Amino acid sequence: MFYLRELLTKYKLVIRFIFTFLLVYGVLTVGYTMYLKLSDGSKYYPDYMTNLVAKQTNSLINSIGYDAQVLPHPNEPSMKVIINGKFVARVIEGCNAVSIIILFLSFILAFAGKFKTTLFYCFAGSIIIYAFNLIRIVILSVGLYHYPWRKEVLHSVVFPMLIYGTVFLLWMFWVNRFSKNVKANA
């Protein structure tokens, strides 16, 4: 029993991090799942965030000189990305970056620093991830337009590595610069 108390005391910060991370991740994931279930898709198909990402993707592709359209997919809950009349990709719920932002926020809140700094970093980091995700979808769509035979490599390797790499860099910057947990152990 004494040994267990010693371990709990020694690893108190690690245990608190894991508990906080899991709690925040669980609450945000349940909240997001409820949002998806309550989203009826009548006004914003398939849901508001996915629809917004698809429309912003469309605007960005058009702004770089392509003739793009985004249309609701008739057979599944997604938005079709069409470039110069060619169907190249679909934007599904998993493409809207909300799940990645939830993962990012859970980590930052588990390694919280000062309240204002943490709040600002959560907000700024979420915007960076969202914007980077939009750029990722645009590059992926244009890449699929020009190089459709590279679909597996582009979609399954290169772009997940970039988006998760961005999240990892944001985490490392936070831990090394702002987290009070690291400063308490230094």
Q: Where are the domains of the chain?
A: 2-44+95-185
Check residue 135 and give its pLDDT.
93
Q: Which residue has the higher pLDDT, 39 or 117?
A: 117
N-terminal to C-terminal alpha carbon distance within the chain: 29
At 95, the pLDDT band (50, 70, 90 cuts) reads very high
What 3-state DSSP class applies to 83? strand
Check residue 132 and give its pLDDT.
93
At 157, the pLDDT band (50, 70, 90 cuts) reads confident
- The candidate with the shortest Cα–Cα distance to 174, out of 109, 127, 129, is 109
Judge whether residue 43 has pLDDT over 60: yes
Judge whether residue 186 has pLDDT over 50: no
**Sequence-ordered list of residues with C-beta below 8 angstroms from that of 125, at least 6 positions apart, any chain:** 104, 105, 108, 170, 174
Check residue 41 and give its pLDDT.
67
Judge whether residue 141 has pLDDT over 90: yes
pLDDT digits 0-9 by tens, 81-93: 999 999 999 999 9
Q: What is the mean pLDDT of residues 146-157?
A: 88
Q: Which residue has the higher pLDDT, 154 or 168?
A: 168
Q: In terms of pTM, does the model score above 0.95?
A: no
Q: What is the mean pLDDT of residues 96-119?
A: 94
Q: Which residue has the higher pLDDT, 118 or 10?
A: 118
